[in-house]
Amino acid sequence: MAKAIKQWKRGRGKLGILSPLLGDWKATASTPMGPVSCTRTFEPILAGNYVRLTARWEFTKGFYEEVAMVGINREGTVAFWSFTSDGKNSNGTAADVSDIHAEAIGFEAQMPAGLARMVYWPDETEGFHWAVEAKNKKGWKRFTEHHYKRA
d(CA 111, CA 92): 9
pLDDT of residue 5: 61
Domain count, the chain: 1
Rounded (to 5) percent helix, strand, coil in the chain: 5, 60, 35
Residue 126: inside a domain: yes
Which whole number is the average pLDDT over 81-92?
A: 97
- Domain assignment of residue 87, given as a range: 14-150
Q: What is the pLDDT of residues 1-54, one digit of tens each?
A: 445 567 888 889 999 999 999 999 999 999 888 899 999 999 999 999 999 999
Residue 100: inside a domain: yes
The angle subtended at Cα 142 by Cα 140 and Cα 147, nearest 5°, is: 135
pLDDT of residue 4: 57
Residue 78: inside a domain: yes
pLDDT of residue 1: 45
Residue 3: inside a domain: no
Residue 8: inside a domain: no
- Asked if 57 and 64 touch (Cβ cutoff 8 Å), the reply is yes
pLDDT of residue 9: 86
Which whole number is the average pLDDT over 74-86?
A: 98
pLDDT of residue 90: 96
Residue 9: inside a domain: no
Q: What is the CATH number of the domain that holds 30?
A: 2.40.128.20
Residue 101: inside a domain: yes
Residue 19: inside a domain: yes
pLDDT of residue 120: 98
pLDDT of residue 33: 83
Q: What is the pLDDT of residues 101-135, one digit of tens each?
A: 999 999 999 999 999 999 999 999 999 999 999 99
